[in-house]
């Protein structure tokens, strides 16, 4: 289906915005999530409530299709040993990257997504990778995504198109994009239902949503929200 898309959907702010972006542009949209032993596994519980709430907003060009949840069996946790998969303090490492970086994670996610897209006959794959607020993760870079598109198309003999609508915007602009796409209703869904906090705190609610308010993901989200509100 040339006008159908698969969204990498974690249940967080960025992927929720990408889901709305895809529904606004494609006739049929499916989602895929990954259980990789992440410390913030509560995000997996947020996925279906967010999906349903976004689909109810209305006015989208497309319809929301099936969800796919891939259990990676803790393989990334065994290989990586990072603060995303272990209960250790979040800090910078000697190579200049935060220890929340899980080596190969996005490369693996895109490979699995392409395999599902191949089987489902979906051409477009949408991810929330971003070079502006990406904490230095090399697998979020535009060059990485472009290289993956080439490799996946060669390896599967398809013409997938990888879309990264957040690639060149910061978190305040992501809030603005969500408002433009779905108005106050989508903003409310993101605040009330999505989860981004690396520490998995989904008990403390702030004006920008749930989280510990101290990890890098919460700081980016909170600062972006305040900047967006100030400029609105």
* Helix intervals (H) in the chain: 13-23, 42-57, 75-80, 105-120, 142-156, 171-193, 216-231
Tens of pLDDT, residue by residue over 131-172, are: 876 567 788 899 999 999 999 999 999 999 999 999 999 999
- Among residues of the chain, what percentage have pLDDT more than 70? 83
Among candidate residues 128, 115, 219, the one with its CA nearest the CA of residue 165: 128
> What does the pLDDT average to over 103-132?
92
Residue (of 146, 137, 152) closest to 105 by Cα position: 137
Is residue 185 pLDDT above 50, yes or no? yes
- In whole angstroms, how far apart are CA 19 and each of 57, 88, 146, 190? 12, 31, 20, 11
Tally of helices (H runs) and strands (E runs) in the chain: 7, 7
- Could you tell me which of 34, 36, 28 has the C-alpha nearest to residue 11? 34
Tokens, residue 220: 């980016």
* Residue 156 neighbours by CB under 8 Å, 6+ apart: 114, 115, 118
Q: Which residues, in sequence order, are CB contacts of 98 under 8 Å at separation 6+?
A: 83, 90, 91, 92, 135, 136, 216
pLDDT at 89 over 60: no
pLDDT digit string, tens, across residues 47-87: 999 999 999 998 899 999 999 999 887 666 665 555 455 55
- Structure pTM? 0.89
Asked if 50 and 82 touch (Cβ cutoff 8 Å), the reply is no
Domains of the chain: 4-231 (3.40.50.620)
**pLDDT at residue 83, as a whole number:** 46
Could you tell me which of 217, 124, 114, 131 has the C-alpha nearest to residue 166?
131
């Amino acid at each position: 289906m040339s006008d159908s898309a698969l969204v990498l959907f974690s249940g967080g702010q960025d992927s929720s915005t990408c889901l709305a972006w895809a529904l606004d542009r494609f006739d049929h949209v499916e989602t895929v999530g990954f259980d990789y032993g992440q410390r913030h596994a509560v995000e997996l519980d947020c996925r279906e409530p967010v999906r349903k709430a976004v689909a109810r907003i209305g006015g989208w060009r497309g319809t929301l299709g099936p969800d796919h949840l891939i259990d990676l069996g803790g393989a990334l946790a065994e290989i990586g040993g990072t603060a995303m998969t272990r209960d250790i303090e979040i800090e910078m490492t000697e190579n200049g990257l935060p220890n929340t970086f899980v080596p190969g994670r996005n490369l693996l996610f895109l490979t699995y997504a392409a395999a599902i897209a191949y089987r489902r006959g979906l051409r477009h794959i949408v991810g929330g990778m971003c070079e502006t607020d990406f904490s230095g993760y090399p697998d979020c870079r535009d060059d990485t995504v472009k290289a993956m598109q080439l490799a996946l198309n060669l390896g599967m003999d398809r013409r997938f198109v990888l879309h990264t609508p957040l690639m060149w915007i910061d978190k305040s602009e992501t809030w603005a994009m969500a408002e433009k796409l779905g108005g106050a209703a989508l903003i409310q869904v993101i605040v009330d239902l999505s989860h981004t906090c690396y520490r998995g705190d989904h008990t403390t609610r702030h004006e920008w949503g749930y989280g510990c308010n101290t990890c890098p993901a919460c700081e980016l989200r909170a600062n972006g929200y305040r900047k967006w509100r100030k400029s609105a």
